[in-house]
Amino acid sequence: MTKCKIWFLCLLQILFLSGCMDGNDPENREYIITLGVDVAEDGFAFSFVPAKTRTTDTTLLKANGTTLAEGIATLDQENPRKTELGQLKMLVFSQDVLTSDSGYMHLLAELERSQDISGNVMLLATEDLASDCLQAILESDGETGLFLWDFYENTAGDVAVTWGEDLDGFLIALEEQRDSAILPKIATTDGNLSLGGGLLLQNHEYVTTLDVDSALGYAFLREEADGAVLVTTIPQNTQESIPVDTISTKTEEIPLSLRIMKNTTSYVMQTIGDTLYCTIVIDATGNLLGSGTQESFTEEGRLQLEQAFATRIKEEVTHTIEVAQDAGAVESIGIGAAIRRKYPDFDLEQDAWQLTLSVAVDVEDFGRIR
């Protein structure tokens, strides 16, 4: 090898080394895991939970801006580390953000256009301050809030009053449901976090909140009620001894629980004159929890039990629909989108329609007599 080639290789190695030295060390970057958005006096108040890349405790970072980009630029001026959103897992909106006056539409468009934010980012909403939720996340997790991400990845599907909604799914729902959707709810009580229910948006505006009970009915409409536990009572005859060696028969209400293993939901529709008649058909299968009753193993008892749980489901779904109707937000629970798959021009607000529910339950496992 000639001396020229040797010198050339040496210079090339130096160039590669200098490139590494000039690169951004991961420890000099702030990788944001959870982002919270509240309303500020002028724009938004952003809260950031970064990944733990140092031995010191993770602290909540805050910055204001009329846009997310401005908020990040402000944070970068105050923080020695460069803010990175490529690892973002969770985004929490406060209720006050979900209004047109806040500039929410512009913020949503910015999130949609962002090359840094993944469409798989999980969205949550809170009636509290988003910053309070993020602080509670830090205190619960101790580091990043990744436990929430783990919950939605591994557990939420088994808890019928919670569901996950990512950015892409939310945008699709808004398009299909005429700017209406539901964001899963997160809340803080005395610093403790709770998940369940959701915030309803109609025409991009917050209108009302689904509580945990209402969310169960919504889970059946979404075909996501797997894991739900329903409780109902059925009458059972019992015998007791009374004086003079006689036996008295009395009826007691026996509480029974059913775990839903699967549910399907379909829509049967027809038009008569100018009115659309829509029947929501819900079929559910489940297993009886605990000990069954002797009556449950008879044909009559099985039918009675299945009818009792079908009535219970119908009550839950009816309640959910009534909550949405009272708020003028039926579109947000997906009924309008389902109808438009068959009648593309149908308008829930303008056209005449009537809704009925048909629910059937199949109990596969009746527990054990003990």
The model's pLDDT over 13-50, given as tens digits with 9 standing for 90+, comes to: 554 554 444 445 556 678 899 999 999 998 999 999 98
Query: Tell me, what's the pLDDT at 282?
Result: 98
Query: What is the percentage of the chain residues whose pLDDT exceeds 90?
Result: 56
Output the CA torsion sign for 21, 26, 27, 28: positive
Give the sign of the dihedral formed by CA 350, CA 269, CA 311, CA 291. Answer: negative
Mean pLDDT of the region 139-149: 58
Read off the pLDDT of each residue in 109-138 and give the average, rounded to a whole number.
Answer: 92
Mean pLDDT, rounded, of the chain = 83
d(CA 189, CA 187): 7
Q: How far apart are CA 158 and CA 326, in angstroms?
A: 29
Residue 191: which pLDDT band, with cuts at 50, 70 and 90?
Answer: confident
For residue 335, pLDDT over 50 is answered with yes
Question: What is the per-residue pLDDT across 273-284, written as a single tens digit (0 to 9) for each?
Answer: 999 999 999 999
User: What pLDDT score was predicted for residue 255?
Assistant: 83
Q: What is the pLDDT of residue 296?
A: 56
| Distance in angstroms (rounded) separating the CA atoms of residues 266 and 125 | 28
Find which of 63-72, 96-105, 150-159 is predicted with most confidence, using mean pLDDT.
63-72
Q: Does residue 252 carry a pLDDT above 70?
A: no
Model pLDDT, residue 85:
94
| pLDDT tens-digit readout, 274-325 | 999 999 999 999 998 865 555 556 778 788 889 999 999 999 999 999 999 9
Q: For residue 272, what pLDDT band results from cuts at 50, 70 and 90?
A: very high
Spatial CA neighbour of 336 closest among 253, 249, 269: 269
Question: In terms of Cα–Cα distance, which of 220, 247, 343, 234 is closest to 288?
Answer: 234
Do 332 and 180 touch, CB atoms closer than 8 A?
A: yes
Q: Does 248 score more than 80 pLDDT?
A: no
pLDDT score, position 192: 78
Residues 228, 286: Cα–Cα separation, whole Å:
9
pTM of the model: 0.81
Instruction: Using pLDDT thresholds of 50, 70 and 90, give the confidence band for residue 236.
Output: low
Residue 227 pLDDT grade (very low, low, confident, very high; cuts 50, 70, 90)? confident
Tokens representing 76 are 């970068």
Least confident of 5-19, 106-120, 313-327: 5-19
CB atoms inside a 10 Å sphere around CB 3: 7
Residue 4: its pLDDT value, please?
58
- Arithmetic mean of pLDDT, 103-119: 94
